[in-house]
Amino acid sequence: MLTKRKGFSSVLIYLMMITFILAGCSKGTQETSSKPTTGTANTATTAPAANADTKKTDLKPYKLVLIYPGAASKDLTAVQDAMSKYLTDKINATIELKPVDWGAFTEKVNLMKASNEQFDIVFTAGWMDYRKDVSRGQFLPLDDLIQKFGKDIAPTVGEGFMKGNMIKGKHYGVPTNKEIGASQGLLLRKDMVDKYKFDLSKQPVTLDHIENMLKIIKENEPGITPLVGPKYTGTTDAKLWDSIATSVGLKILGNDLKVFNPIEQPEYMDAAKRMNKWYKAGYLNKDAATMKEDQAFNVMKAGKAFAMGSSLKPGKDAEMTVSMGVQLVQVETTSVYSTTDDVTGAMLAISRTSKDPERAMMFMNMLYTDKTLLNLLDFGIEGKHYVKKGANVIALPDGQKADTVGYSNNAWMFANQMNTFLFDNEDPKKWDNFKKFNASAKFSPAIGFSFDPEPVKNEIAAVENTKNEFEAAVSTGTLDPETTIPKWLAKQKASGIDKILAEAQKQLDEWAKTK
């Protein structure tokens, strides 16, 4: 993942998290006993076919279509053919891989849905349009399909992941077995960290320490942007609060189920002021409010920036080092937090236009148990796109980089990450570290709650328009928050934010009665 949701974060998020966390810690921390029961990451083994009651000989040939965000690699067809050959032997199916560029994913996939285009499986997430798509009937309910053809999924991912994505008691997506939460922070160029002897030994680090690093880079490295960042449109998804609806937040620390409007919080203003200070000092790129995520990635990749914001997990710096070809280190600004959006951070859903949902579920089930299939999808063909360095360790072929090897994918997106290969620069204990990381997460008191937007859909559309108008400029410090946030709040009020807050509180209170 470049820096999406759990990572397409402006530094404003981190500033707000720190201030909220400090305020929360002064009142006491969440007790372990208050955490919901969650599954830990499991390591599965290769299994035949799909754990279904149907034999391959009973199945007619079928072509599965998989839609997911990403760039179309040069050797996509070769990998697709290899997967199809493997799947034909297992479940008498072939597959068409249809990656859609990140920047255009939502728009293009929405057009596919609106035009009733036939496809079978699509990537989705809580930070995307998962809830909206469910409310619009775009995804099929999966409970019966999981029971019959996806029996390996729940034991692999655990109870916490499975419960976290339910909407009105039903599953509409199957979650990826990966980190159950995230910390927030920065990815830094290691050469500059070493050059200026920046001390990263005590983490989470303070914002003053980050500011000092940015100041040093600005004063001593002409032509290098201290902090590069894209337009960020999900400030209310920050983990200082659980974003349970459009512009509706809920504090994570403690057990208070009282909702609030994030931009009304003093911590939001304080954080926005600091971002404005950094912007004026030249620590951010001037086009931060309009920059796209892939543009920020490319600036870092080209060695023209020192730092970029990111959600973090064990080994995120090593993963991104392979993707960028630039040696990175990560620095945390928060502890680990988990919300409903985190346990729904990566899922696969079955489209209502699928002509064979049973076969789609068979394929999805295989991704959780069959290492050969999963690593084909993630890394391509052995000897062509990677070479083995050990049983589960790989490297790029000699002379190749991530952008020249011919095939690449985002392993975090699909099924059972614990069954994926590790690159030779990654910690061999990475998956053990994931388990510890997950166990350390502080959970939102509203984990598993899913807001129904239908009663206030018109107000939500209007309030989202105000976010589109103001949020990027505020979160990147481009405009003065002391004058901009009051204007934003006034437009929110006129658009019906109070009605959304009241509806969210009503639904949350009703949900709490069942817990």
Please tell me whether residues 431 and 290 are part of one structural domain. no
For residue 419, the domain's CATH number is 3.40.190.10
Residue 48 pLDDT exceeds 90: no
What is the rounded average pLDDT of the residues 123-133?
88
Segment 302-311 shows an average pLDDT of 91
pTM metric for this prediction: 0.69
Contact 424, 389 (CB under 8 A): yes
User: Which residues span the domain enclosing 209?
Assistant: 11-37+183-341
Residue 207 and residue 336 in one domain: yes
Same domain, 348 and 329: no
Percent of the chain with pLDDT over 70: 87
Confirm if 242 and 339 have CB atoms less than 8 A apart.
yes
Record the tokens describing residue 127, joined without a space.
């930070």
Question: Of 307, 323, 341, which residue constitutes the final position of a domain?
Answer: 341
| Residue of higher predicted confidence among 207 and 396 | 396
Q: Are residues 348 and 319 in the same domain?
A: no
Q: Report residue 243 as tokens.
A: 């974003």
Is 112 in the same domain as 159? yes
Please say if the pLDDT value at position 150 is more than 70. Answer: yes
**H and E: helices and strands count for the chain:** 19, 14
> Residue 267's pLDDT band (boundaries 50, 70, 90)?
confident
Is the domain of 165 the same as that of 237?
A: no
Examine the fold and report which residue of 408, 443, 478 is the final residue of a domain before the chain moves on. 443
Does residue 236 have a pLDDT over 60? no
Q: Which of 341, 364, 397 is the last residue of a domain?
A: 341
Identity of residue 113: K
Do residues 321 and 406 share a domain?
no
Interacting residues of 1 by C-beta distance below 8 A, sequence separation 6+: 7, 410, 412, 413
Question: Does any domain span residue 235?
Answer: yes
Q: Do 260 and 388 reside in the same domain of the chain? A: no
Residue 469 lies in a domain: no
Could you report the per-residue pLDDT of 310-331, keeping only the tens digit for each?
888 889 999 899 889 899 999 9
Rounded to whole angstroms, the maximal C-alpha distance in the chain is 69
Same domain for 228 and 252, yes or no, is yes
Higher pLDDT, 458 or 344: 458
404 domain residue, yes or no = yes
Verify that 278 and 208 share a domain, yes or no. yes
For residue 197, the model assigns a pLDDT of: 97
Q: Can you give the pLDDT at residue 53?
A: 52
**506 part of a folded domain:** no
pLDDT band (50, 70, 90) for residue 204 = confident
Rounded-to-integer distance, Cα 214 and Cα 222, Å: 12
Which pLDDT tens digit goes with each residue over 376-415?
Answer: 999 999 999 999 999 999 999 999 988 899 998 888 899 9
Share of the chain above pLDDT 90, in %: 57
**213 and 243 housed in the same domain:** yes
The answer as to whether 462 is a domain residue is no
pLDDT, tens only, 431-483:
888 888 888 888 888 888 888 888 999 999 999 999 999 999 998 999 999 99
In a domain, 1, yes or no: no
* Residue 351 pLDDT > 50: yes
Q: Are residues 251 and 364 in the same domain?
A: no
Tell which wins on pLDDT, 252 or 457.
Answer: 457
User: In this structure, is residue 402 part of a structural domain?
Assistant: yes
Asked if residue 463 is part of any domain, the answer here is no
Number of domains in the chain: 2
On average, the pLDDT of the chain sits at 85
